[in-house]
Chains A and B, each alone.
Chain A
Amino acid sequence: MTAAPTGPSVAALMQRLAGGSPDLLDPGVNAVALVADTLVDTCGVVLDRPTRALVRTDVDATDDARAAAALTCWLALAPGLRAAWSAGPAGQGAGAAERVLAAVRALVTELAPSVPPRRWIEDPAGREEAARAFLRAAGLLPAGESAAIAQDRWSAISTAARRDAEREIAQEARRTQELARRLAEQRAKEAVAQYTYV
């Protein structure tokens, strides 16, 4: 398992989000074109037709999806990342284009439904979650953080992770009760014939 390359710090990305133009939240934004331009700008990759269709499915689904895609592109174009996409660690391993597209997909389909993009700009917790979600999805470690610390802080801030955990824990509690009930039933009590002694 090779360590993830290091990207900008969370603070730097939060600062960039805080300075993002409200125009990025405009529902009329052409998110697909924005993603295509970002790929060209960051790593010189032209979006092919099939990939463009896939991107469209994600980013054109709702107003929030378009806004999330625009804000993700805004992060991808951060000064601390631009050089890294083409020549630095972020461009190695999984290619830079794949990293950018993975970030777009994650923030649009996973984060935006639980944390509206407006909060990525206006709310400090929303800013941090979006910044960390971006770095995770792009396979980058926040500058100044080890993998373990980045994971800890992600778990602490992540709305989706918290919801998933709560859902899992509730399911497990129900399951424990169901298992106890099933084992208490007579049909479970009557053994099956055994063939071996082990």
Chain B
Amino acid sequence: MTDQPTPERVTAERAEPERDLPDVLGEYVPRSAVALTDAQRWPTQTVAGERALRAVREHPHAPEWVHECGDRLDAGDLAALADLAADYASRGDRGPRARAGFEPAAPPAQPDQPEWVGALVRRVHASVPRYRRIARLHGLDPAALGPLADVAPIGRAELAGGAAGGLADLVPVDVELDRLIEGSSSGSTGSALVIALHPRSVAGDLMLLRHLLRGVGVEWRPEPGRLALASVVAQDAAFTYASTMSAFGHAPMARVNLDPGGWRRPGDREAFLAATDPQVITTSPWPLLELADLDADLHPLAVVSGAAALTPAARARVRDRWGVPVLDLYGLRETGPLAVSTDGGPHVLVPRRIHVEILDPAGTPVADGVRGEIVVTVDDNPYLPLLRYRTGDVAALVHTPAGPALAGLEGREPVRLRRGDGAWSDCINATQLLQAHGLLGWRLHQLAGGDLTLAALGGDPAAARLSLERLLDQPVTVTPVATSAGLGAGKPRRYTSDLPGGA
């Protein structure tokens, strides 16, 4: 690499047309959250990287960039990330498998805790306010701790309240805060959480993606003239930006919004995407389906979907459209990626420093193959080490040739549906039926009287209704919707209920 970092310069302000956004979306006013110079956004930027960035920012068909942000990686970060990439590369193409605690082909899936977990338990009890308080209260010596089973699980409630509340209680006192970046996790219910991110941990996702793609036979290397990655959303208002990825050869990426309101002229959206032809598309199911319907000539190497369940029908649609691997990535913003499904089957745990347990409502581990809440211990983000964090999501841990995996993954706050005879039915039963009828997405709501309403995207809604009525012995009203917008804004919940005990 002969390129030299560019000298610091302040980003030139470009005149932006005002968008007519509601007041509540004021944060999306172009560049309202911009605070840094380009040199601070990309401390190791190269001449070639800056050139690529400018080409994307100033592309004749570019959207109205609403934001600017970089990866904030310094030379130390790049060295650490190179080590991480080498570590992944040394695994070859064995597919996802956890770095520690899991031996290939070694049931049971719910393993003993890996060695690093004991060290994390001790470190957290010595440095994290919430756990130091527990140690003080019970006279525990952090150095003598270790078993995770002795640690009470926590959840979103413990993180809530922002910097003065739960977050400060979970950030170690011995970590310098000078690299701190505010993140948020909206989840699908409740108000957003403020979380603390470290640039190196965020960029670690990129190394993981490369590894996961290698596992499905895709060698992802930057290609001049193309976006290495496009992060795609489809919402009324969203942050959009162009960036370069310092830990990936300073290759360009962009976050784009498929909503037509974010583009300057009709046709720009399709023209920009076709011209920049992103190598890897990361998105969530609804934008992905919109993108698949878009008249744009794209040649992605792979597609990575997250944030919500990718139905088999949606997966098939994407495969038919581009004929490339489709990864369904599961995780939470506060934990990072946890598991991936490359074939529509169980989500295999990814090789990060994560330890997954499946617990019953009383907090007791369940047997392999039994559904329960996914509870995760993560040692990746120096600002937010997590011990037994309740995800609110439900699955069973099973053993697969690729390693331990989450089967029957259902989103947070699983809903029970009440049958006509008063018995409860786990929503996983409805999921299996609706998937079998080819629905791309749905929203199933049970009213207080027991009747159900189904908003159905794609597939055979009429047949789905009959199956649901047979399953639940309750009347179902079905409404076919033409687009994902008909399923609700944001990250829609697939199941809701007005019944006491249902949700």
Contact = CB atoms under 8 A, between A and B. Distances in A.
Interface of A: 151-152, 154-155, 161, 165, 168, 171-172, 175-176, 178-180, 182-184, 186-198
B69 A190 contact: yes
A155 B199 contact: no
B282 A195 contact: yes
Contact of B202 (A152, A175, A195, A197): A195
Interface in B206-229: 206, 209, 229
B252 to A, nearest CB: 11
B164 A193 contact: no
Contacts of A172: 129, 132, 168, 173
A188 B205 CA distance: 20
Given A191-B69, A197-B329, A183 B197 contact: no
Contact of A196 (B36, B129, B180, B329): B329
Given A168-B132, A198-B329, A193 B173 contact: no
B35 A197 contact: no
A178 B383 CA distance: 13
Nearest to A180: B163
Nearest to B185: A198
* Residue of A172, A183, A188, A198 with highest tally of chain B CB at under 10 A: A198
Interface residues of B, number: 63
Contact of A198 (B71, B138, B332): B332
B69 A197 contact: no
* Residue of A183, A193, A194, A195 with highest tally of chain B CB at under 10 A: A193
Nearest to A147: B139
A198 B132 contact: no
Interface stretch (B302-310, B399-407, B445-453, B475-483): B302-310
Contacts of A193: 69-71, 202, 231, 241, 243, 245, 253, 255
Given A172-B173, A176-B168, A198 B331 contact: yes
Interface of B: 33-36, 40-41, 67-72, 129, 132, 136, 138-139, 162-164, 167-168, 171, 173, 177-178, 180-183, 194, 196-197, 199, 202-203, 205-206, 209, 229, 231, 239, 241, 243, 245, 253, 255, 282-284, 304-307, 329-333, 335-338
Contacts of A196: 205, 209, 282, 304, 306, 329, 331, 337
A124 B65 CA distance: 73
B194 A183 contact: yes
Contacts of B173: 171-172, 175
Contacts, number: 131
B239 A191 contact: yes
B168 A179 contact: yes
B336 A198 contact: yes
A28 B341 CA distance: 74
A48 to B, nearest CB: 26
Contacts of A154: 139
A151 B173 CA distance: 25
13 contacts: A151-B139, A172-B132, A176-B168, A180-B162, A182-B180, A183-B162, A183-B194, A191-B33, A192-B199, A194-B205, A196-B331, A198-B307, A198-B335
Describe B's contact surface by its main secondary structure.
Answer: mixed
A73 B404 CA distance: 55
Contacts of B330: 198
Contact of A151 (B138, B284, B307): B138
B139 A195 contact: no
Contacts of B306: 196-198
Contacts of B163: 176, 179-180, 183-184
Contact of B205 (A176, A186, A195): A195
A190 B284 CA distance: 23
B480 to A, nearest CB: 26
Given A175-B129, A192-B202, 16 more contacts: A172-B132, A172-B168, A175-B173, A180-B163, A187-B40, A188-B180, A191-B67, A193-B69, A193-B71, A193-B202, A195-B202, A195-B229, A195-B231, A196-B306, A198-B307, A198-B335
Nearest to A154: B139
A193 B336 CA distance: 14
Contacts of B199: 192
Contacts of B69: 190-193
A57 B360 CA distance: 53
Given A182-B177, A196-B282, A198-B330, A175 B33 contact: no
